[in-house]
Each structure stands twice: as C-alpha cells, then as structure tokens.
Structure 1
C-alpha cells in the first residue's frame, strides 16, 4: 500500500467529493486529507487491517443470495470517509423533509379522496396499474396521517456538483445499521479526528426511531410494547433487524411469535402468557404480513394483522400500502406532487426521466437505449436494470421488447456522471463512484439522519454500488467548518 500523494490523485471528468483538483482538498476535507497524507504506507495498511478486524469482531455481515444458496459475508468497508459540509447538508435535509412530507400526503390522498387524480395532476392509469396499491388500505387513517414512517432516499451528485434524488425507498428501506456501524468502525480506526467536534454525530438515530415508533402507540400514556417483525434469520437484512432491536431495547419477533386475539388486538407469545403489542416495525413485505388478506400461503406474517391495524388497535411502520409511492414511474411526478400538496418548488431536483407509457418518451428511449439507464418500476437493489453505455446489443434488443410489451413498467434516465470519492485500493488511493442514502423518520414531525449510508462501487469504472452486486460502503461525515 503506497503513501497517499494527493498531487497524483485525479478523478477525471467527475466531481470528486474530497478533492477539487490535484493536491487541492475541498475545505471540509482538508483535515482528513492532511491526516492521510502524513501516514506512511505501513500505517495505512495498519488502519485498513484494523477496520477489517473490527468488522469481524463486531460481527457486521450481510447476506448474498447466489444460485439458491445464502452466503454471509463481512461488510465491505472503505476507511476513507465521504465528506459533506454542514452548510450544504442543512439545505439537503430541508429538501428531504419537504419531499417525504409531500409523499405522505400523496399516499394518504390515494387511499381516501384521490384529489390529485381528480385535479388531473397525477394520471389515473398509473394508479390503476400500480402493483403496490393496496385496496385493503382504502379509508384507513394511520397515526399522524403518516404512511411512510421510515424512508431511505438515494441521492447522487452529477459532475456539475448538483445533488439529485435518484429514488425514494418507502416500503422496507434498509441500510441504516450499516451507517451507524460504519461510524463505530471509523472511530476505532481514526479516533483522533473526532476530538475537535467538527464531525457531526449520527448515534441518535435509534433513540429518534424509538420515539417515533412510540408516538404511534394506540395506548398513549402507557409504556408501549414495540417489536420488530422479521422474516427470520435467513433474511439478507437480519443483521439490521437484530441490531436495531438491541439498540432500542425491543424484541425481534417472527410471525409465529404473534397472534391476533378475539378482541382484534395483537399479542406476543411469552413464557408467562400473552402480552399486548402496540407498535410493529415490520421488515416483511406487504404481501406476506397477513395470510388472511394477502398471500394465503405466507408463514412470515400474522393472521388477522390487517384487521387489528384497520381498527387502530396496533400501529404498523411502515404502513401497508406505502409502497404505492415507491414506484419509479411515480418518482417522475414527485416535483408536481410537492407543488400540488405544499405549493412549493422542490428543494432537491429529480433526475430527468422518461416514462415509456407516453408515446413520445417511449420513442426517444427506444432510439437511445445505448445512452440511457432503463429501470423497471418496482425492482430494487440494482436488479432488472439496463445501463445503456455498458450494455450489449443483445441486452438492448431484449429491453426493447420488454418496454414494448409493458410500457407502464419502464422508465429511463440519462446516465449520470456519478461523483467519486477517494477509496483505498490495492494500488493506492483511487476514485470510485458513490451514492448516498439518508434516512428520514416521519412521526409527529420529520427528522433526518446527519448524513447517511454512503455506498461505493469498489470495481473500477462501475456505477453499481449495491453490496449484493460487489459494492461497499464508507462512513459519511457532515463537517461543521465553523466548529472549533
């Protein structure tokens, strides 16, 4: 591992999060860059090894599904953090709060009066073909009129320095435990950099999450019983379920641990009998949470859960049906949704998008498949996409047929020049593409993490940051330049 020389570091053609030009760290990154430059090659290797050992000792893992098998892997982590100035982050935070507020109003409207459709701001045909609209949720009034209590919005920065919202994850967003653990690992490896107080803390997330969940309890005033409903130990995000439960001091339960009584309340089976449950933070998809209403073969959910929820006897986060707004076609309408419900201009821009359901957009997409990123409306994790510039003719021909057969299910965006961040590689410090997933909690009022989960494409030239497809992550520092 060679010594870091920022004069030799260059991210040609891309905005770099830390380095403005050869040998020129951005102001918010100056402290870190100086620290790294003063380390010799032996010390850099020791830092990297210390992080790997910490991850092993802390048991930070994720699960990869490959060819019918499941493999637990150590969390892939890069010791060089991604840094954002506090002044920029405050504007980003305001934009995220605005966005999630409007999306929650949109979801609530769709399950009640559908005014946005009647006023012809949002096309009825998109809702009619939505795979995540749940008729069983029509007329329900969840606490605070909030449906998406936990949202993870993916942000990307283009080469002009603009932060765009790439997508909103409103169903069962994951990754926040890794954001918190990344900070714990970084503090172990470089504790001296946290002494000055400029790096903003992130460790209040779990207390904020607990307070938000508690505020939803149907029995206000009591000490609420909160549980995390997991699909089980073989789920790829089980590490996170267990981590959050441990941090909040609540139980992790599976569907078989819960039962709905004759009074339509939810109870947890305990050694000493049944104990009433007030709030369920569910990490199980809609279609599996209640075999009485959704998939009758599901063994992951709780029979009668929807009955209890509809009667207000238990709170569910996120609410069933929230995924109606977690649709990459709906995404294209979010600026109009913000304007309609809040009468405000969006503080954070969308990536320009083409909807294949519209003839003109579809013609453009089919004619430019080699230049665009094409996404199905409801896939996640980077699956089912076509990255045009890196595709073969055979792949483009396949996608052309998919688009023609189901235009509503596809949208396309220009290939962004994703920003880079210095990443420790085998040959030294090299630029790698990154994105960012902040987490927004919505209860009585919205709250945003100070930063988020920075994911990094560890393969040179790759734009795919998902850990399931070879990506890794970094700690994210929000730095107060005015701090001591």
Structure 2
C-alpha cells in the first residue's frame, strides 16, 4: 500500500509540503511523488535504516531527570521539510539584517548607550536585565561583534509567512543535529539527492572555523582555536565534541587552560604550555571565569576575562552577548533595526505583550487562556504556559507569577504553527514545527541554507524541544526547477 496524499489533511494549517489534500506544493512535487511510489514495507525499511544510522553515528542528546542524566538517541523523522530557494532568499536577508542590528545594540549597550539616551530602548528594561554584565563595559571586540553565532527560531503562521519567535545569542545549540540530519537523510534517500538541487549545509564547520580564526589577536595562518566545554555531563556535549572534531580544534575543559602573568591564555599539553588564540566557549557567562563572575565555578578559567579585556584572546560568543537574549529585549528588535540601520525589518516579530507594561499586563491577565506566556530568560520550553492547553489551576498559578514579577514575562498569541507530514506509527500525519537557522558573523556574515527543523512529535503539541518530546527533520532549500 502506498501513501495516499488525498487522505492527508493539514486541517487548516499551512503545511510545508501539501497545500491541500492531494495537492503538493511545487517545490515538493518530486518528493511527494517519490514517497507515493514506496510501499509500506519500503517506508518501514527506510525508517529502520535511519534509526540504525543514528545509533551507529552515536547521535544523542541528554535529558536531565531527578534520578540523573539519560542519554537518548536523537529523535528523527525521515520525511524532509522543503523550502523553495526563492522564498529562502528573503529569510536569509532578514536574518543578516537582524543579527547586524543585534550586534550594534549589544556594542552600544556596553559603551555609549545611545539607544537608551535617545529613549528608543527603556532604561528600566536594561536595569532589570539578568544577562547584562557590568564586567563587559567599555570593551570593543573585534569587528564590533559580540554574538558571533546566533540561532534565531522562526515559525510560520497560517498564511505561510515567517516570523521570528526568539533569538538565541548566548550559547546557541543544535547545529550539529542539522548537519547529522543531512547525513542520515542522504543514507536513507540517496536517490532523491540526484533529483533535487538541494543547497548544501556541509560547509558550516569550515565557515565556523574561518570565522573563529579571523578573530585571532595574532596574525597567524593557523591560530590555536579551542572549544571550551563544561564536560561530558552537559546536555550538548555531543555537539561540543562533534564541532571540535569537524573543525580540527582541541576540545578542552576549564582545567586544561591557564592564564599566565602575561594575561595570555595557554593550553596544557604533554609538550608544555601552548598559547590559545580563540575560545569557542560553550559555558554560560557566570561559570566562565571565577575571578570575574561566580567564584564557586569549577568549570571556567580563572583570569580569562582579563585576557579577553587585554585583547590577548577572543571569546565566542562574547561574554555579555546574552543581554540581547531576553524575550523582553526581543520585543524591541524591530525598533533596533530602524534605529541602527534606518531600515524596516524584513522578518517580523511575533506580536508580543510586555507584562511590565500596565495596560499590556491587564490584557494578558484578562486573556491568559488564549495566549502563550513565556519567562524572559528560560530556554528549552521550560517555564512557559500555552493558554488554550492549560488547566484553570495552571492559569491561576501563572497569573500570580506574572503579578509577582511582571518584568520576567511576555505573552504572545497562540500561532497556528505550520505543519509537515511526519511518520507516526507507520503512517503520515501533520505535526507542528519550527526552524532554527544559524548565522555566523565576523568579518562577514554567513547564514546556513535552512537550519534545524524541530518537530512536535506529540499530536496537537506546539512544543518542539527534544527535552519535551520533540524531534527533528532534515531541511531542504531547493531550486524549484528540479530535474525529473
């Protein structure tokens, strides 16, 4: 029995592959025709092949539980998501614009604070920021860039338009899964890569290394670049090791590095100390340097902030970049784009209510059962509430949280997130998804061709995070003039 696309119903949501029952979107026609030609046994074999590849390649993620940490195989759906290249060009331009403005904002906030003085950005929002680092004041990093790596989460609404849901600027994760998704899909559907002009993603590790190397304080052909990890128990350790290996960089922990009297960073090796030029750090600010931040930290490198301030080492992303990784600050990004670039935003924000504003808070509390409410600085889908899916008790508890700390909450309408055909118990069903493209900014800006598509595998769920039961798909940016 083959797939019957006439029986697949997106139920009024914008679907990435199917525009209506039985009708494929033009860019997806070759894919849907091919899937229809496969029988149930063949589809099952392809799914098993993907699962075996994931186990063989060791693709995993860690879930923190009360009883400890559990490593799980990466949840992957074999049906790719397709976006036409013509449509992606606009998204790419919007991401370049957005990250340029965000970096200008961060640099301004730690220096002149013009945007505050000109009353475009409220002083009280900055004053109550959890991620503003006083230790970063007056620093001017290379190229004026603080957030060298950004993963902005995008969603589509019912009309198919892309919106930015949030910006991840501290230690954005997930790019290794984007790369591995592509490798698994090539194993499962090698013939499809002959029939589609699919934009590659494989060059990301070399682009990442080139960007990191361009920040070196020493003019070397091959500067010493290291990836600083908290260690094997971190949920993203697979990614840390993966990227270090793909870049040919050393994977280090805090104890492997030392700052000497010359305010330079050195790596301990069997041949003695070796100077480090660039640190791609995957450790949060507060654990990075016990001299500058939390003195109890056993994960960081004492004195690394001194070395950075002296210009003897590059830190990526820069400490303090998280000041823009705040869902309240997110609401002001369109104003930042107009202020710094004198341009209209190419990619719109999702409409956002700030609970710190009295009138907007009244609206949120009166319509809590219809809105999505999020804390300003949580990630991974934690600490939020989806009004239409919440119980009266949960709504009441959240109302109290908002009243107690209004600066910490924003609210957004419940979007009709787009869907894509997903293999569920042997048959295809629509599942909601989002997209996290990755943007690199140094001397130039590079945007991945697509990104990490995350899928809410539970029926009706809008939560795509792997820690909350979500999965992932390969993302194809394709030329519409595909070969038959």
Work out the CA distance in 1 between the residues paired with 2:386 and 2:353.
Answer: 15
* SS in structure 2 at match of 1:240: helix
Give the unaligned 5+ runs of structure 2: none
RMSD over equivalenced CA pairs, Å: 0.8
Residue in 1 that maps onto 2:194: 195
Q: Is the 8 A contact 2:44 2:426 kept in 1?
A: no
Deviation at residue 3 of structure 1 after TM alignment? 2.8
CA deviation string 1:331-383 (max 9, x = no partner): 00000000000000000000000000101000000000000000010000000
* SS in structure 2 at match of 1:77: coil
Work out the CA distance in 2 between the residues paired with 1:13 and 1:372.
Answer: 20
CA deviation string 1:378-423 (max 9, x = no partner): 0000000011000011111111111111111111000000000000
The correspondence of residues 179-218 of structure 1 with structure 2, limited to 5 A, is: 179-218=178-217
Work out the CA distance in 1 between the residues paired with 2:197 and 2:221.
Answer: 39
* SS in structure 1 at match of 2:30: helix
Residue in 2 that maps onto 1:221: 220
Matched, 1:29 2:25: no
CA deviation string 1:430-480 (max 9, x = no partner): 000000000000001111000000000000000010000100000000011
Deviation at residue 13 of structure 1 after TM alignment? 1.7
Residue in 1 that maps onto 2:447: 448
Work out the CA distance in 1 between the residues paired with 2:15 and 2:82.
Answer: 10
Matched, 1:319 2:325: no
Work out the CA distance in 1 between the residues paired with 2:475 and 2:423.
Answer: 15
TM-score normalised by L of structure 1: 0.99
Work out the CA distance in 2 between the residues paired with 1:479 and 1:336.
Answer: 33
- Displacement over 4 Å in runs of 4+: none
The correspondence of residues 269-288 of structure 1 with structure 2, limited to 5 A, is: 269-288=268-287
Work out the CA distance in 2 between the residues paired with 1:391 and 1:13.
Answer: 22
Work out the CA distance in 1 between the residues paired with 2:5 and 2:130.
Answer: 49
Work out the CA distance in 2 between the residues paired with 1:124 and 1:430.
Answer: 47
Work out the CA distance in 2 between the residues paired with 1:101 and 1:382.
Answer: 27
Residue in 2 that maps onto 1:309: 308
The correspondence of residues 322-401 of structure 1 with structure 2, limited to 5 A, is: 322-401=321-400
* SS in structure 1 at match of 2:481: coil
TM-score normalised by L of structure 2: 0.99
Residue in 2 that maps onto 1:423: 422
Residue in 1 that maps onto 2:437: 438
* SS in structure 2 at match of 1:184: helix
CA deviation string 1:141-196 (max 9, x = no partner): 11111000000000000011111000000000000000000000000000011114
Residue in 2 that maps onto 1:158: 157
Give the unaligned 5+ runs of structure 1: none
Deviation at residue 4 of structure 1 after TM alignment? 1.1
CA deviation string 1:212-232 (max 9, x = no partner): 000000002342000000000
- Count of residues in Structure 1 that have an aligned counterpart in Structure 2: 483
Q: Is the 8 A contact 2:10 2:21 kept in 1?
A: no
Deviation at residue 483 of structure 1 after TM alignment? 4.9
Q: Is the 8 A contact 1:158 1:418 kept in 2?
A: yes
